[in-house]
């Protein structure tokens, strides 16, 4: 029998290794940018075409490479960072494993130009499928230019699995932003298909955050700065009012390397407890500096997952640092603002506080109330606030007896004149029902009582047109039916109605648009600009008339006819945030994500008072839907309480 184990050729081994390191164009962007940073560059330019599928080029003004180094850098496990095993535990540079360039050369056509300052000529190398095609001297500036063309040209199956250009562009922008945030002292630019998307001048970390995420954060960042013997933490977190529904703008860096850590994210979110809504996420850009021996960064090929030697200490420090920063913000928020010079001109500051005025102030009742020990502070009533003495009457039910006519109306389930659209009392049934989870359908198998008393023939449910509807807690609608009543969740029901309306528009029945007399301009971050450009055709079908205006601006010319005027900018911003919430769910198409985002965003929210006419319209529209019992996400829109079930609860 012949031997069956053999060594793989180098080009096949490199392609297999490339599958771990180079998963998509953004992976190559990350590796090339990090190499440029390690080369000591002060200016780094990224150029891409066709979302990186056709070209990814990084040009830097770093120290460059010699002819030998330029050739050696494409060999597997060739690195300038490690000489012995101890060096692995003291890594402070970005790339060190010597796999990136070898992996790139295995799956793309690579052209390298590099020159050191001491060399008169640079080196030109052309590689394809891990094989050097050409190597020769070339005139070039100091630094390195490396271009990879036709990614996965020799692995068609891998190329076919790449996403659309807008999706791959967003991944590239994410990697670019992470490196740019790590090194605000360096210049970065990103050019896509001939258009410059980013031009980031050298500056401070706060300036870099504002450059990337927009001027709206300029006055909404809280400084985090804590130094200890074990580690240092510095950076910025957003004020509670900047929290969003998506966790996009959240960045942790350990020794200037971007990492993903749900553990540390939990520490930070716990510092925001009771300051933001449970489903909201604040912005943060935090840097943790500690001894490299205390952290293992070599646990994942992309080096984005690391392991701390003592995670509990790092968790405690992050939580304490953020809590301390937020506490300082809440106590002294005026530190971020200059004192108004007009305050200095007030009479209270210019006139002296004489002894007579001091005696008059000390004898006042207000002064005595605040200075007496063991006394509750109080403010005596005056003519202005005397009317507030009966404030409790606003919240206590009237004790006056109702007239016979009013009692008869309430007993019949009607509403008193002038109370339409307000929350109505509903004490006759729900307050008396024992706590029990209702179910929608009952049979002899699910409820033994039906086997004893006999099951009633099934009736098709219909909402009674002449019976009044009630709203509970400004969130639920009680609608009587021919076989009991249903409890409708007003937001989920509206989501279902809007979803089918938007789906019909996307299927060939565009929604009507109402043009604005005064179009509004909205400025977005670079990430949201790329996303908005991708969504414009679908938004037009759904009634939004939006066109680019400037580098990162858009002009809102029209919105759906039923959208309330005046809040167009807020609607667009919330739409983008909700759309990004679905970005990781691969089973949804772009249009499906957009439709679901709009449905959630425009649905009437809990806490909104509805008039009976509005409630009836919503319930009617719900039952005209093709699938009225659940939302697109699978949540029930209503729960039915059948008369037989209610009678069983009362042992009838």
173 neighbors 195 (Cβ within 8 angstroms): no
Where the chain has pLDDT below 70, the residues are 10-11, 13-21, 76-99, 246-248, 296-306, 330-358, 360-459, 562, 564-566, 581-587
401 DSSP 8-state letter: P
Q: Tell the CATH topology of 10-200.
A: Heat Shock Protein 90 (3.30.565)
What are the φ and ψ backbone dihedral angles of 107, each rounded to 5 degrees? -125, 10
The one-character DSSP state at 460 is: -
Kind and range of the H or E run holding 71 = helix 67-72
**Is-contact 590 584, C-beta < 8 A?**
no
- DSSP codes joined into one string, 373-398: TT--------TTTGGGGGGGGGTSPP
Handedness of CA 474, 476, 481, 483 (dihedral sign): negative
Distance, CA of 534 to CA of 528 (rounded, Å): 10
Rounded CA gap, 525 and 217, in Å?
11
pLDDT given at position 200: 92
Q: Where in the chain is the domain with CATH 3.30.230.10?
A: 205-332
The two structure tokens encoding residue 260: 């993903």
Q: Are 279 and 244 in contact (CB under 8 A)?
A: no
- Using the 8-state DSSP alphabet, how is residue 626 labeled? S
- The rounded distance, in Å, linking the Cα atoms of 44 and 185 is 11
Cα gap 575→569, rounded to integer Å? 10
Using alpha carbons only, give the angle 395, 399, 403 rounded to the nearest 5 degrees.
Answer: 120
Residue spans in the chain of domains classed CATH 3.30.565.10: 10-200
Query: Radius of gyration over alpha carbons of the chain, in Å?
Result: 33
Angle 73-76-79 (CA atoms, 0-180°, nearest 5)? 50
Q: Which of 266, 238, 176 is nearest to 212 (CA)?
A: 176
Residue 316 has which token pair? 């405690």
CA distance 124 to 228: 48
Parts of the chain belonging to CATH 3.30.1370.100:
406-652
DSSP string, 412-439: TT---TT-TTS-----SSGGGS-S----
Element (H, E) at 107: helix 100-107
**Which has the closest alpha carbon to 45: 187, 178, 213, 203?**
187
pTM of the complete model: 0.63
pLDDT of residue 224: 93
Q: What is the pLDDT of residue 371?
A: 57
Return the DSSP state at 402: P
Nearest-angstrom CA–CA distance, 183 and 94: 12
How distant, in Å, are the alpha carbons of 97, 177, 200, 210, 382 from that of 184? 25, 10, 8, 11, 58
- What whole-number distance in Å separates Cα of residue 491 and Cα of residue 575? 17
CB–CB of 142/117 below 8 Å?
yes
Contact criterion met (CB below 8 Å) for 252 and 564: no
Query: Is residue 490 within 8 Å of residue 476, measured between CB atoms?
Result: yes
d(CA 451, CA 172): 64
Residue in the block written with tokens 């509670």: 240
- Rounded to whole angstroms, how far apart are CA atoms 518 and 523? 16
Question: Residues 25, 56: contact at Cβ < 8 Å?
Answer: yes
Q: What is the DSSP letter of 277?
A: -
Question: What is each CA distance from 637 to 306, 361, 456, 626, in whole angstroms?
Answer: 43, 62, 25, 13
Tell me how far apart the alpha carbons of residues 65 and 116 are, in angstroms, rounded to a whole number.
Answer: 6
User: H or E element: which one contains 251?
Assistant: strand 250-254
Q: DSSP assignment, residue 400? A: S
Residue 421: what pLDDT? 45
pLDDT at 83: 53
**Alpha carbon distance 592, 507 (integer Å):** 11
Cα 198 → chain centroid = 21
> Could you tell me if 297 and 92 are in contact, meaning their C-beta atoms sit under 8 angstroms apart?
no
Q: Contact 302/30 with Cβ under 8 angstroms?
A: yes
Classified by CATH at the fold level, domain 205-332 comes out as: Ribosomal Protein S5; domain 2 (3.30.230)
Q: Is 72 helix (H, G, I), strand (E, B) or coil?
A: helix
Nearest alpha-carbon partner for 555 in 530, 521, 524, 514 = 521
Q: Are 153 and 159 in contact (CB under 8 A)?
A: yes
In words, the CATH class of domain 406-652 is alpha beta
Give the C-alpha distances (Å, rounded to integers) separating 132 from 54, 109, 137: 20, 10, 14
Which run of H or of E encompasses 539?
helix 526-541
C-alpha pair distances (Å), 553 with each of 201, 415, 546, 617: 20, 50, 10, 38
Is there a contact between 642 and 443 (Cβ–Cβ < 8 Å)? no
């Amino acid at each position: 029998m012949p031997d069956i184990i053999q060594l793989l050729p180098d080009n096949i081994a490199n392609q297999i290794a490339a599958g771990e390191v180079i998963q998509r164009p953004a992976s190559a962007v990350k590796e090339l940018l990090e190499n440029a940073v390690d080369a000591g560059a002060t200016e780094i330019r990224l150029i891409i075409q066709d979302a990186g599928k056709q070209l990814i080029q990084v040009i830097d003004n770093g120290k460059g490479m010699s002819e030998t180094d330029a050739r050696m850098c494409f060999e597997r496990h060739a690195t300038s960072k490690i000489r012995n095993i101890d060096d692995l535990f003291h890594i402070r540079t970005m790339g060190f494993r010597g796999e990136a360039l070898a992996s790139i050369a295995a799956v793309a056509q690579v052209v390298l130009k590099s020159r050191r300052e001491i060399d008169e000529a640079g080196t030109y190398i052309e590689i394809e499928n891990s094989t050097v095609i050409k190597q020769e001297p070339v005139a070039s500036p100091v630094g390195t230019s490396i271009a990879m063309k036709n990614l996965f040209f020799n692995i068609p199956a891998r190329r076919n699995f790449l996403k659309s250009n807008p999706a791959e562009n967003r991944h590239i922008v994410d990697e670019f932003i992470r490196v740019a945030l790590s090194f605000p002292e360096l210049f970065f630019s990103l050019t896509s298909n001939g258009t410059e998307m980013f031009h980031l001048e050298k500056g401070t970390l706060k300036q870099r955050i504002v450059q990337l995420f927009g001027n709206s954060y300029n006055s909404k960042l809280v400084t985090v700065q804590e130094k200890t013997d074990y580690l240092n933490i510095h950076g910025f977190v957003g004020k509670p009012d900047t929290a969003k529904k998506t966790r996009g703008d959240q960045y942790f860096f350990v020794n200037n390397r971007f990492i993903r850590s749900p553990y540390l994210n939990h520490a930070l979110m716990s510092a925001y407890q009771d300051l933001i809504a449970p489903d909201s996420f604040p912005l943060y850009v935090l840097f943790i500096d500690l001894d490299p021996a205390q952290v293992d960064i070599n646990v994942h090929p992309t080096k984005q997952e690391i392991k701390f030697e003592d995670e509990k200490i790092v968790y405690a420090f992050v939580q304490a640092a953020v809590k301390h920063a937020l506490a300082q913000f809440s106590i002294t928020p005026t530190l971020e603002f200059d004192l108004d010079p007009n305050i200095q001109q007030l009479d209270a500051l210019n006139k002296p506080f004489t002894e007579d005025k001091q005696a008059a102030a000390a004898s006042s009742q207000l002064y005595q109330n605040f200075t007496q020990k063991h006394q509750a502070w109080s403010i005596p009533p005056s003519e202005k606030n005397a009317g507030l003495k009966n404030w409790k009457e606003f919240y206590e039910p009237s004790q006056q007896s109702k007239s016979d006519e009013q009692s008869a109306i309430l007993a019949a389930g009607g509403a008193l004149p002038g109370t339409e659209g307000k929350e109505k009392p509903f004490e006759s049934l729900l307050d008396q029902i024992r706590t029990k989870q209702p179910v929608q359908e009952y049979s002899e198998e699910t409820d033994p009582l039906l086997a004893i008393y006999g099951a009633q023939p099934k009736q098709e449910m219909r909402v009674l047109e002449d019976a009044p509807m009630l709203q509970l807690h400004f969130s639920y609608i009680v609608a009587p039916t021919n076989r009991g009543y249903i409890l409708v969740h007003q937001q989920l029901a509206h989501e279902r109605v809007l979803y089918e309306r938007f789906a019909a528009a996307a299927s060939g029945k565009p929604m009507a648009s109402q043009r604005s007399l005064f179009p509004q301009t909205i400025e977005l971050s670079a990430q949201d600009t790329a996303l908005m450009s991708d969504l414009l055709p679908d938004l037009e079908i759904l009634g939004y008339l939006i066109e680019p205006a400037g580098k990162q601006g858009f002009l809102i010319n029209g919105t759906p006819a039923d959208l309330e005027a005046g809040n167009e900018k807020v609607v667009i911003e919330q739409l983008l945030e909700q759309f990004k919430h679905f970005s990781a769910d691969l089973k949804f198409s772009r249009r499906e994500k957009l439709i679901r985002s709009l449905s959630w965003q425009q649905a009437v929210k809990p806490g909104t008072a509805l008039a009976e006419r509005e409630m009836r319209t919503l319930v009617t529209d719900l039952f005209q839907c093709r699938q009225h019992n659940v939302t697109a996400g699978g949540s029930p829109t209503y729960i039915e309480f059948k008369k037989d079930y209610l009678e069983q609860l009362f042992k009838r």
